[in-house]
Amino acid sequence: MDNVIPDITAKLSITNEGNTSQEYTYYYWITPRPDGEIGDNDTIDSGSASKLIDPGETFVTYVTLTCEDEGDYYFRARVYYGTEYSDSYQQFTAVTTEGGGGWYVEGETLLQYMTYIIVIVFFFALIAIYAVYKAKSRKRRRRKK
């Protein structure tokens, strides 16, 4: 989940566990309470969509809502299948960053991401050093002849 305001992004996954294709309507919203409903007066933002999902398939999407203020909130989702529904929520703390923006790398922390970048830069530096070494080695062989 990207919790940097104003754009809060969450990953939603819906799996059709039935035997036939089915249209799933899903709602998602930000609320300050774990029991907050989509139509409540304190709902921060909300959205909805529908998706036809084949049996055994999982539909994954990223949804973004707007939250202007820092604080503790709940990102809630509800998926309707027929007349029944399933709920889920994730608590998060909305924060700001210097410069007013944020970015999201799923499953990774910024420290892990920066470590990957350093390793890649180091790898390319080794390749460059090897190339220079090979070029100098060729020049030495030519001089000996």
Q: Taking the model in full, what pTM does it have? A: 0.64
Element (H, E) at 9: strand 7-15
Give residue for tokens 């949804």: 63
Pairing type for strands 58-66 and 45-53 reads unpaired
DSSP conformation class of 44: -
Sequence-distant (≥ 6) Cβ neighbours of residue 25 within 8 angstroms: 48, 49, 50, 79, 80
Sequence-distant (≥ 6) Cβ neighbours of residue 140 within 8 angstroms: none
pLDDT in tens, 25-84: 999 999 999 999 998 999 999 999 999 999 999 999 999 999 999 899 999 999 998 888
Give residue for tokens 């919790």: 3
Q: Is pLDDT above 90 for 116?
A: no
pLDDT in tens, 3-33: 787 889 999 999 999 899 999 999 999 999 9
